[in-house]
């Protein structure tokens, strides 16, 4: 009886060990998550475009466990005086939330804030004259606010 029990326990233990070594945790993200996050949070327009494309197809990136939630421009207007800043704010939130979750926020905050400012300036590039000047002024104000309070 002891021999049968020991054999059964050994077989069960081996089966559990085999499953444990081949199964990966459901929350495990791909190893390149930091590189992907970095590529989507740079100051360039190509980084912005890559992030926007991914945002529009979030299900393709579900294995990475990114936090796509946003409150847009927080307590500031998302579209001040009609300037569409909400997507820039969403990318800024994306960077903040995901770097905080990775424990790497402090090392990346300045770049995230600079990327936000570049995104806002790209919005303003669509205007001319006094309208562009007003937009640029608001972009600078939003940037200074996140630098100080973000």
Q: State the catalytic residue, choosing from 51, 92, 117, 118.
A: 92
Based on C-alpha coordinates, what's the Rg of the chain? Answer: 23
Q: How many whole angstroms separate alpha carbon 91 and alpha carbon 79?
A: 15
3 as an active site residue: the answer is no
Burial code of 27-66, b = ≥16 C-beta within 10 A, e = fewer? eebeeebeebbbebbbeeeebbeebeebbeeeeebeeeeb
| Residues with active-site annotation | 92
């Amino acid at each position: 009886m002891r021999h049968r029990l020991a054999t059964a326990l050994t077989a069960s233990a081996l089966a559990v060990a085999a499953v444990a070594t081949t199964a990966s945790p459901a929350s495990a993200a791909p190893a390149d998550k930091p590189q992907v996050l970095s590529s989507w949070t740079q100051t360039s327009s190509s980084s912005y475009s890559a992030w926007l494309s991914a945002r529009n197809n979030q299900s393709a990136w579900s294995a990475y466990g990114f936090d796509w939630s946003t409150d847009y421009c927080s307590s500031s207007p998302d579209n001040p005086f009609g300037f569409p800043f909400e997507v820039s704010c969403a990318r800024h939130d994306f960077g903040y939330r995901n770097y905080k979750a990775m424990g790497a926020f402090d090392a990346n905050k300045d770049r995230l804030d600079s990327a936000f400012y570049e995104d806002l300036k790209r919005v303003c590039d669509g205007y001319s004259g006094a309208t562009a000047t007003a937009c640029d002024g608001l972009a600078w104000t939003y940037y200074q606010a996140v630098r100080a309070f973000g």
